[in-house]
Structure 1
């Protein structure tokens, strides 16, 4: 039975770690989607707001005081060039990776596809209208 554990399938590589330090002003017009529950804003990597992850970050308003931030790099085969999650354009209620077909809810949890890992989540801190995202 022990031999079955060494079947050669290996484990999936992890998303590389990069420094993340982004600040968003929730009153800024470009962040207006974050004024409503389940609103989502995309931050590009290396944006003017700071260091925005490997492939960018999605910020989701869960409620008036809780915001979550997720890496856009899909955790399933994250080193593939196409391993990028996007917000579903029609419903805006989940993220999907068109490369591997994994799907994730707005809390970053896997809802379909081959990914066994949730989206990488970054820490968020709200002070007044300033949201800080770090790792």
Structure 2
């Protein structure tokens, strides 16, 4: 009986880790394939060596990516499209410190959490870090 209960708990834990969060089911942002490799030894991505120094990566995702180191070996990557506006109504969000700011309604989103106090948070992508390369993908 204990083995069956253990198996049920393990299966439930496995399925509870699905990627069904609101940030990736935003009707305002179309889904684009993202597979970016950012080498932190290059001057363009050098800020990614330091916590709280986000960089903008154009030509990826819907309106570009905003990537930031959040801790030792940990990074966040978000789409630069305004999450609470129609896709074609705004240009890419801009970086203001540790926030991303929407060009349409001037709402700010925290780059540690992706939250901005409105209905939808920023659309987040997966990130892996290996050596000097930050890999952003979906």
TM superposition score normalised by structure 2 = 0.75
Q: Which residue of 2 aligns with 1:29?
A: 43
- Max radius of gyration: which structure? 2
Could you tell me how far apart the structure 2 residues matched to 1:67 and 1:134 are? Answer: 12
The reply to whether residue 129 of structure 1 matches residue 132 of structure 2 is yes
The reply to whether residue 69 of structure 1 matches residue 77 of structure 2 is yes
Q: Which residue of 1 aligns with 2:52?
A: 38
Q: Which runs of 4+ in 1 moved over 3 A?
A: none
Q: Which residue of 2 aligns with 1:105?
A: 110
What are the superposed Cα offsets for residues 10-37 of structure 1, whole Å, 9 maximum, x if unpaired? xx83310010000011111211111111
Could you tell me how far apart the structure 1 residues matched to 2:134 and 2:27 are? Answer: 30
Where does structure 2 lack aligned partners over 5 or more consecutive residues? 1-25
Q: Which residue of 1 aligns with 2:123?
A: 120
User: Which of the two has greater helix per residue?
Assistant: 2
Residue 48 of structure 2 aligns to a residue whose secondary structure is: helix
Residue 85 of structure 2 aligns to a residue whose secondary structure is: coil
Residue 55 of structure 2 aligns to a residue whose secondary structure is: strand
Where does structure 1 lack aligned partners over 5 or more consecutive residues? 1-11, 46-51
Q: Which residue of 1 aligns with 2:6?
A: none
User: Which of the two has greater strand per residue?
Assistant: 1
TM superposition score normalised by structure 1 = 0.76
Could you tell me how far apart the structure 2 residues matched to 1:81 and 1:39 are? Answer: 27
Count, aligned residues: 112
